[in-house]
A and B are shown apart, each in its own frame.
Chain A
Amino acid sequence: GENVEQHPSTLSVQEGDSAVIKCTYSDSASNYFPWYKQELGKGPQLIIDIRSNVGEKKDQRIAVTLNKTAKHFSLHITETQPEDSAVYFCAAAAGNKLTFGGGTRVLVKP
């Protein structure tokens, strides 16, 4: 089955700096890659996603890149703000199965 690895597990950045989270996947059949943000006490919230026919997608301060050949994808957050502090999960989907990475706890220091 699919295996998704996510790094780093924790990330501390200064407010205004950029944050990058990287994920790798194993199943070449995976063709959809969402990212979720989970705030304390809440369920994950979809923040951005990318399909396998696209290499990059941007939405305001967040962007995702996908390298299908290398089987890795990344989340980039620019100009980080304290409200970006949360746990972020990447995931990879093949058909009906969605497999999550282990999560990255991001702390933005004011």
Chain B
Amino acid sequence: EAQVTQNPRYLITVTGKKLTVTCSQNMNHEYMSWYRQDPGLGLRQIYYSMNVEVTDKGDVPEGYKVSRKEKRNFPLILESPSPNQTSLYFCASSLRTGGRIAFFGQGTRLTVV
């Protein structure tokens, strides 16, 4: 089954404790991206990757890091989480760039206290 898998689904952490949210897709897609969803703001892009070892900033990259060492994986790293990073995070993938994102993960609800 074609899917984008995120882990964990829920995470509560403390300020400053480094964390990683994993994302994996099984469709051999080139394009992957991370979004955060906040009430009334829709989904805002954090980072995206057009292929292995190619990443670029989205609209709200501050406080986040990503890596793309393998085509299927695109982890999101928060080196020093802060309460304003409490949000619902989605990973997404598509065959190629150009906007058409057909596959989103189930989401990771992160709370930073």
Contact = CB atoms under 8 A, between A and B. Distances in A.
B100 A96 contact: no
A95 interface: yes
Given A34-B99, A96-B56, A103-B40, 19 more contacts: A1-B59, A6-B42, A44-B90, A44-B104, A46-B100, A46-B101, A89-B43, A91-B99, A93-B98, A93-B99, A95-B98, A96-B50, A96-B98, A97-B58, A98-B99, A98-B101, A99-B45, A102-B40, A102-B41
Closest 9 CB pairs of A and B: A93-B99, A43-B104, A100-B42, A32-B99, A100-B43, A102-B42, A96-B97, A46-B102, A44-B104
18 contacts: A4-B42, A32-B100, A34-B100, A36-B104, A41-B107, A43-B106, A46-B102, A49-B100, A89-B42, A91-B99, A93-B99, A94-B99, A96-B56, A96-B99, A99-B59, A100-B43, A102-B42, A103-B42
Interface string B77-102: 00000000000001010000111111
Size category, B interface? 20 to 34
From A1, A43, A91, A101, name the one whose CB has the most chain B CB atoms within 10 angstroms: A43
B65 interface: no
B75 interface: no
B2 to A, nearest CB: 13
Size category, A interface? 20 to 34
Contacts of B44: 100
B32 to A, nearest CB: 12
From B33, B90, B98, name the one whose CB has the most chain A CB atoms within 10 angstroms: B98
A93 B48 CA distance: 14
Nearest to B90: A43
Interface in A62-96: 89, 91, 93-96
Contacts of B35: 100
